[in-house]
A = this chain, B = another copy of it.
Amino acid sequence: MTHTPDIMRPDRLLVEALREIGTATIASELRNLSIRNASITGPCAFTTGKVSAGPALTLQFMPMREDQFGAAEYDDPEKQLHRHVLYHAQKGDMVVVDARGDMDSGIFGEMMLTYFAGLGGEGVVIDGCIRDSAKARDLGLGLWVRGVTPNFHAQTNIFPFGVNVPIACANTFVMPGDIIVADDDGAVVVPVAMAEQVIEVGGRHSEWEEFTRLRLSQGGDLRKYYPLRADAEAEYLAWKTQRGS
């Protein structure tokens, strides 16, 4: 019987705090904390407008080798590891797949994704493709992929090999249990041990940002309003008082 490990899930409060901060700020703050590039470059938002956040279940594909992945394995669905990663899914989880950038393999189709959505899954990030894409879009999941294809997961060049092991997703390293936050700008990986630091710095309320946005949209001087210069503080305070916030 196939056995695959589960992951350690971080405190959900951390996940939600990171979701609030957003990918752009997370990417910048991790840079300040020495993580040069936490963004997963390649998979793009397929479900525009969605924001997903959660711990990473991971799935690793390997280049196809026929003595390792025989046709016979289809007779026993339990041997297909891309099913097993979903068996571990809990509400709020993200699935992150190293599909080796392959454009000829549809890692998950409608049924697999329906199952994941049924378990309360948050979203899926694949360095590769999904199939049944028209239906997949409407399942309520967040989806970040390189593309779509009619092919199934092991039709051509790759096969599923590892579940909840460390993976490389599109040249970004992901540990099982790392916190993934994804929105229209893409997906970022937050090492659990750094989550609190990111939240602390990234979450500091930039209370003048709304004021700045307004002034810039009115043709205000970038030098004066962004970041807020000393000689604009009085104006800002007056605006703040006036709107009673």
Which residues of A are at the interface with B, using a C-beta cutoff of 8 A? 22-24, 26-28, 31, 34-37, 39, 41-42, 44, 48-49, 62-68, 77-78, 83, 86-87, 100, 103-104, 106, 109-112, 114-115, 117-120, 131-134, 147-152, 155-157, 161, 166, 168, 171-173, 183-186, 188, 191, 193-194, 212-213, 216-220, 222-223, 226-227
Contact = CB atoms under 8 A, between A and B. Distances in A.
Contacts of A66: 34-36
26 contacts: A22-B150, A24-B109, A26-B150, A27-B151, A27-B155, A31-B151, A42-B103, A63-B172, A65-B173, A67-B191, A67-B194, A83-B222, A83-B223, A106-B185, A111-B212, A111-B213, A111-B226, A115-B216, A118-B219, A119-B219, A131-B185, A134-B183, A134-B184, A148-B185, A148-B186, A149-B185
Contact of A186 (B100, B110, B149): B149
Contacts of A117: 217
A128 to B, nearest CB: 12
A191 B227 CA distance: 33
A118 B218 contact: yes
B39 A114 contact: no
Interface centre among A64, A65, A109, A112 (most CB of B within 10 A): A65
Contacts of A106: 24, 185
Contact of A168 (B63, B103, B171): B63
A120 B34 CA distance: 38
A213 B135 CA distance: 12
Given A37-B156, A131-B185, A222-B87, A118 B63 contact: no
A226 B217 CA distance: 47
Nearest to A111: B226
Contacts of A78: 223
Contact of A217 (B103, B114, B150, B191): B114
A102 to B, nearest CB: 10
Contact of A37 (B35, B41, B42, B155): B155
